[in-house]
Amino acid sequence: MPTKNLEEKRWFNFTLSPMIGVAIKMLMGDTGKYIGMIVGITFSALIMTQQPTVLLGLLSRTYSLISDASYPDLWVMDSKVQAVDDVKPLQDTKLLRVRGIEGIRYAVPLYKGLLRARTADGNSQNCSIIGLDDATLIGGPGNMVTGKLEDLRRADAVIIDVDGANKYLAQKLPDGTRIPLKVGDTLEINDKHAVIVGIAQTTPTFGSLPSIYTTYKRSLAFAPQERLKLSFILAGLKPGIDPAPVIASIKKYTGLTAYTSEQFKDVSLQYFIDNSAIVASFGIVILLGFIVGAATSGQVFYNFTQDNIKQFAALKAMGTSDGMLVKMILVQAAMVGISGWGIGAGLVSLKGFSLGSNGDFPFLMPWQVVASSGGGVLVIITFAALISIRKVVKLEPGLVFK
């Protein structure tokens, strides 16, 4: 038999050796421990995937206004503004000065405020009021469920978001059922009459407040009397213009700060991360999931190896090399890891995409989250495998005779 050639072949082609099949059968033959290990990894993968998706879903709501605003290339604001919810009103004249900057195609006002709205049945609720430029309606929601954005030009018109209409401002009957607001229903916003002309699908706000869109002038009428009311200036760039020099010019000539939409999202997100404990709280849960998963899976995997120690000793005595035993254990660990991770991440996806589709459940699952949880599982199974590998490599094959 050409043993040397076969040995080399086995070494270079991981999948060729039937010993890998032996390892898989050893693993799956011990059904109880196999399931136990998969449950441990599934638990970890579930926590390490689900918690970040909820966290990201929540964090994405901190810049929901920016995400939903259509058209603007730049958001211009007071230089002290730290986030989209940190409104520091500007003088109206700033709008004209921004329009005068080289490279700016248009600049329109945006009002953002918190006002109390009351429905016809007496229900009242704080709402986020967004006032859009009367002429262009730039910054309005891009996804209308009922009505058209242009309907805002009608008298006393407002557009409300789906969650506001169906949940927060819906009429609540004594038996607990809700009658959603619909087009034609009326509201009182800061004691001013308003008529719903449309319902928009928007990203839920972090504070779970209804969003009400109207024109800029009407929003000023709703708002209490203040000296400064202009919250943000939404600006568009001329075609082919790089935003960076325009942003620099805005700062230089107006003293205002400007960001692209993506930059403003990042700034708002960073502000929230820096000033709340939510990331740390979620981080602790994720870490606990990792530790518990590592401990349980590591322990069960080690027990599995320990229970099969005489089999490993027999294989070693019969001439199985340490390298092949290491491969066998790695394959066993990989099978447990891939199965557990697949089930865990799959369950999160199913839950998130089924519940997340209605907008109530905070859920955002970029590929990086799935990859990160996969990385976490990889660390756990590597840890579990290393303990077992150490045990088997140090194993004295003479154990079979005891």
Partner 1 sequence: MSQPVVICKGIQKEFGAGADAVQALRGIDVEINQGELFMLVGPSGCGKTTLISIIAGIMNQTKGECLVLEENVSVMSSAAKVKFRAKNIGFVFQTFNLLPSLTAAENVAIPLFILGESKKAAVKKAHDLLDHVGLKDRGISLPSELSGGQQQRVAIARALIHNPKIIVCDEPTSALDHETGANVMEMMQKLSKEHGTTLIIVTHDNRIFHYADRIGEIDDGYIKAIHAPETTLGRPYA
Amino acid at site 203:
T
Residues from 292 through 351 that contact partner 1 (CB under 8 A): 310-311, 313-322, 324
* Structural tokens at position 222: 């709703």
Question: What is the smallest separation between the CB atom of 323 and partner 1, expressed in angstroms?
Answer: 9
Burial 280-310 (b: 16+ CB within 10 A, else e): eebeebbeebbeebbebbbebbbebbeebbe
35 binds partner 1 (CB under 8 A): no
86 binds partner 1 (CB under 8 A): no
Q: Distance (Å, rounded) from C-alpha 306 to C-alpha 48?
A: 28
Residue 336, beta-bridge partner list: none
Question: What is the smallest separation between the CB atom of 36 and partner 1, expressed in angstroms?
Answer: 16
**The dihedral of CA 305, 308, 310, 316: what is its sign?**
negative
Cα angle 371, 376, 381; round to 5: 120
Nearest CB to partner 1, comparing residues 9 and 148? 9
Nearest CB to partner 1, comparing residues 1 and 155? 1
Amino acid at site 136:
T
Nearest CB to partner 1, comparing residues 279 and 314? 314
Nearest CB to partner 1, comparing residues 321 and 349? 321
Q: With contacts defined by CB under 8 A, how many residues of the chain interact with partner 1?
A: 35
1 binds partner 1 (CB under 8 A): yes
17 binds partner 1 (CB under 8 A): yes
**CB under 8 A: which stretch of 5-13, 68-76, 97-105, 146-154 binds partner 1?**
5-13
Nearest CB to partner 1, comparing residues 95 and 313? 313
380 binds partner 1 (CB under 8 A): no
Nearest CB to partner 1, comparing residues 292 and 314? 314
Question: What is the smallest separation between the CB atom of 1 and partner 1, expressed in angstroms?
Answer: 6
Among 21, 207, 366, 375, indicate the residue that binds partner 1 (CB under 8 A). Answer: 21
Q: Distance (Å, rounded) from C-alpha 267 to C-alpha 269?
A: 5
Nearest CB to partner 1, comparing residues 53 and 320? 320
14 binds partner 1 (CB under 8 A): no
CA-to-CA dists, residue 20 to 24, 27, 334, 342, 377, angstroms: 6, 11, 12, 21, 21
Nearest CB to partner 1, comparing residues 212 and 325? 325
Question: What is the smallest separation between the CB atom of 386 and partner 1, expressed in angstroms?
Answer: 20
Nearest CB to partner 1, comparing residues 17 and 49? 17
* Structural tokens at position 6: 């076969």
22 binds partner 1 (CB under 8 A): yes
Q: Distance (Å, rounded) from C-alpha 42 to C-alpha 58?
A: 24
Nearest CB to partner 1, comparing residues 21 and 207? 21
Quick one: which H or E segment has residue 204?
Answer: none
CA-to-CA dists, residue 121 to 186, 253, 357, angstroms: 10, 50, 30
Backbone phi, psi, residue 237, to 5°: -100, 150
Residue among 38, 53, 48 at smallest CA distance from 343: 38
Nearest CB to partner 1, comparing residues 24 and 295? 24
Instruction: Give the DSSP letter of residue 117.
Output: E
Among 14, 29, 91, 274, indicate the residue that binds partner 1 (CB under 8 A). Answer: 29
Backbone phi, psi, residue 87, to 5°: -80, 130
Burial 191-229 (b: 16+ CB within 10 A, else e): eeebebbbbbebbbbbeebbbbbbbbebbbebbeeeeeb
Q: Distance (Å, rounded) from C-alpha 95 to C-alpha 93?
A: 5
Residue among 392, 248, 256 at smallest CA distance from 333: 392
Among 159, 220, 389, 398, indicate the residue that binds partner 1 (CB under 8 A). Answer: 398
CA-to-CA dists, residue 56 to 75, 283, 356, 363, angstroms: 23, 12, 12, 7
* Structural tokens at position 157: 């018109």
Residues from 235 through 294 that contact partner 1 (CB under 8 A): none
Among 122, 225, 227, 401, indicate the residue that binds partner 1 (CB under 8 A). Answer: 401
Among 28, 96, 114, 350, indicate the residue that binds partner 1 (CB under 8 A). Answer: 28
Q: Distance (Å, rounded) from C-alpha 10 to C-alpha 396?
A: 24
10 binds partner 1 (CB under 8 A): yes
Question: What is the smallest separation between the CB atom of 307 and partner 1, expressed in angstroms?
Answer: 10
**CB under 8 A: which stretch of 20-28, 159-167, 295-303, 370-378 binds partner 1?**
20-28
**Residues of this chain that bind partner 1 (CB under 8 A):** 1, 3, 6-7, 9-10, 17-19, 21-22, 25-26, 28-30, 310-311, 313-322, 324, 396-398, 400-402
